Amino acid sequence: MSELTPEILLHGYAMGIFPMAEHRDDPEIFWVDPRRRGVMPLDGFHLSRSLARAMRRTHFTTSINRDFDAVVAACADRAETWINGEIAALYGALHRAGHAHSFEVWDGEELAGGVYGVTLGRAFFGESMFSRRTNGSKMALAALVDRLNRAGFILFDTQFLTDHLASLGAVEISRAAYHAQLEDAKSGYADFTAPAPASLQDVVQRMTQTS
């Protein structure tokens, strides 16, 4: 692959592809275009009774873009990761340009969980998430879906479908169906930063009212 830039990355997302590395020490980056694509229907997040109860009772707080680099580093802090140094630097540049965002869940001053991704039009391309506390990533994902809904997004791309994502409502669709949804999402505009901050308790209340 030729040298990547933030602009080339955005162009790739607009085409429906995304970059990965084999592991953190591999300098090679390649484009991925899955035959089957994972997406999270924004009206289909599965908020279990146990997760709703945990969110109502938690003292965790949330933020957006408070520490993007720390979220990326936490996502890469595992035995096997596709996030190498160049990828981390590229997404940091996208973040500073306003095209990549992080959603954080905090236990006091410690990160409990989080997720980061790229925005283009009304599409959010989820890149990776992590959890350092029980339910940390689940709470982050629930609150992220709430934010995307309130901001006017219509596509939440999870790239692949894992058992964890499937348990929360994510599904798998064909490449053709994904590209059709992507075309619709690119035609409009949504502002990830626009919705007012919401507590996890507020997120539960909204989700249970509409379920």
Q: Where are the domains of the chain?
A: 6-210
- pTM for this prediction: 0.94
- Express each pLDDT in 97-143 by its tens digit: 999 999 999 999 999 999 999 999 999 999 999 999 999 999 999 99
- Express each pLDDT in 42-66 by its tens digit: 999 999 999 999 999 999 999 999 9
What is the reported pLDDT for 1?
Answer: 47
Instruction: For 6-210, give the CATH class.
Output: alpha beta
Contacts of residues 13-20 at CB distance under 8 Å and 24 or more positions apart, as own/partner, are: 13/118, 13/120, 13/123, 13/125, 14/120, 14/182, 14/186, 16/175, 16/178, 16/179, 16/182, 18/125, 18/127, 18/159, 19/87, 19/90, 20/82, 20/87
- Express each pLDDT in 75-90 by its tens digit: 998 877 878 888 899 9
Average pLDDT across the chain, whole number:
93
CA separation for the pair 97, 125 (Å, rounded): 16
- Express each pLDDT in 165-189 by its tens digit: 999 999 999 999 999 999 999 998 9
